[in-house]
């Protein structure tokens, strides 16, 4: 029997204009009180809606960090991570619904596999399909070329893996990312050069470089409504209250962070003409995306 009395986990949620989704997420977490003990931090990035105030009213015992401006995803998470004293950290998006059994299973999995630095469960979109951001390969030039030109996801999303079994991947999504605190102490926190997007890929890259595994665990799951704050995801645009300005800003971050990651981790591996094609490809996708304000 596992010892459920020892507090091993801290859950961190970064909120930005998540509306009722934040409250729904917190209620789903509240149902897990008998499953596992955990600390809960909410970092609010200067939301202009009433989501923070509503959460504070309904859940006063949570640790709240209120920023005077939007600091971005990575930097906001880092604020809370620096306060954590538990063995594990779960980064969780406010537009998620956590199902019973998921968090305790993941903590037990991390206990049983000390070589795993980070892990994700099966992350499902509202329509029941897999959120492929939770099951990624690194965006090398060849993987990106196959994906964007031929829609071949075998390298970009590792689609040739057995999706019913536990296995290693290159990167998982920050919407549900369980991290070993000791590994973060070793490799560092989120790179704050990334304001939004790709900071999770960057962190996974560094964790793997340090010799730890990134693992996909499909035995348990959550629901991810995805893109509520940014408003640029096609499947959730009708649910988002993001302003036009916010959508444009999110879109710019989506593509500019691709360049940051490539320059930091991959550019030195390839000749000049490959790097030039990569940057031209990102700019072309960026230009096309601006026409629809969606990705």
Question: How far from the centroid of its chain's Cα atoms is residue 294's Cα?
Answer: 19
Share of the chain above pLDDT 90, in %: 83
How would you classify residue 104: left for phi > 0, otherwise alpha for psi between -120 and 50, otherwise beta?
alpha
Which residues, in sequence order, are CB contacts of 37 under 8 Å at separation 6+? 4, 5, 6, 7, 9
3-state secondary structure of 234: helix
Flag whether pLDDT at 4 surpasses 90: no
Lowest pLDDT segment from 94-98, 234-238, 240-244: 234-238
Flag whether pLDDT at 1 surpasses 50: no
Q: Which CATH architecture has domain 9-227?
A: Alpha-Beta Complex (3.90)
Flag whether pLDDT at 234 surpasses 80: no
For 247-288, how does the pLDDT look when each residue is reduced to its tens digit (9 = 90+)? Answer: 888 888 899 999 999 999 999 999 999 999 999 999 999 998
- Using CA atoms, how far apart are residues 107 and 160, in angstroms rounded to an integer? 27
Rg, the chain, Cα only:
18
pLDDT band for 229, please (50, 70, 90 cuts): low
- The pLDDT of 136-147, averaged and rounded, is 96
- The pLDDT of 224-246, averaged and rounded, is 71
Q: What is the pLDDT of residue 240?
A: 65
- The pLDDT of 14-37, averaged and rounded, is 94
3-state secondary structure of 185: helix
pLDDT band for 236, please (50, 70, 90 cuts): low
Structure tokens at 177: 């990312």
Nearest to 92 by CA among 25, 145, 18: 25
Going by the DSSP 8-state scheme, the letter that residue 263 receives in this structure is I
- Using CA atoms, how far apart are residues 221 and 180, in angstroms rounded to an integer? 19
Structure tokens at 199: 């900071």
3-state secondary structure of 38: strand
- The answer to whether residues 135 and 221 touch, using CB atoms and an 8 Å cutoff, is no
Flag whether pLDDT at 50 surpasses 70: yes
- The pLDDT of 146-156, averaged and rounded, is 94
Helices (H), 137-262: 141-150, 181-187, 199-209, 244-261
Which residues, in sequence order, are CB contacts of 110 under 8 Å at separation 6+? 87, 88, 116, 119, 178, 180
Q: How many CB atoms lie within 10 A of CB 132?
A: 15
């Amino acid at each position: 029997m596992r010892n459920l009395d020892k507090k091993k986990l801290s859950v961190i949620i970064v909120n930005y204009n998540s509306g009722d989704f934040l409250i729904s997420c917190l209620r789903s977490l509240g149902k897990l009180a008998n499953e596992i003990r955990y600390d809960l931090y909410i970092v609010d990035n200067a939301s202009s809606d009433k989501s923070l105030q509503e959460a504070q009213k309904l859940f006063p015992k949570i640790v709240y960090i209120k920023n005077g401006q939007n600091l971005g995803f990575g930097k906001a998470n880092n604020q809370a991570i620096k306060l954590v004293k538990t063995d594990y950290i779960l980064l969780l998006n406010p537009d998620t619904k956590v199902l019973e059994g998921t968090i305790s299973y993941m903590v037990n999995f991390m206990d049983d596999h000390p070589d795993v630095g980070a892990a994700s469960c099966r992350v499902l979109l509202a329509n029941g399909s897999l959120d492929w951001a939770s099951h990624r390969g690194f965006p090398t030039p060849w993987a990106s070329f196959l994906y964007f030109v031929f829609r071949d996801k075998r390298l970009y999303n590792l689609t040739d893996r057995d999706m019913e079994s536990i296995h290693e991947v290159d990167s998982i999504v920050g919407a549900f990312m369980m991290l070993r605190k000791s590994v973060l102490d070793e490799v560092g926190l989120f790179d704050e050069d990334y304001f939004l997007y790709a900071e999770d890929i960057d962190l996974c890259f560094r964790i793997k470089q340090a010799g730890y595994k990134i693992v996909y665990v499909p035995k348990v799951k959550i629901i991810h409504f995805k893109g509520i704050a940014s408003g640029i995801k096609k499947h959730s645009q009708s649910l988002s209250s993001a302003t036009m300005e916010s959508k444009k800003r999110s879109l710019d971050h989506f593509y500019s962070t691709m360049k940051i990651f490539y320059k930091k981790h991959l550019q030195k591996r390839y000749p000049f003409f490959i790097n030039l094609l990569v940057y031209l490809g990102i700019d072309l996708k960026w230009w096309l995306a601006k026409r629809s304000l969606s990705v």
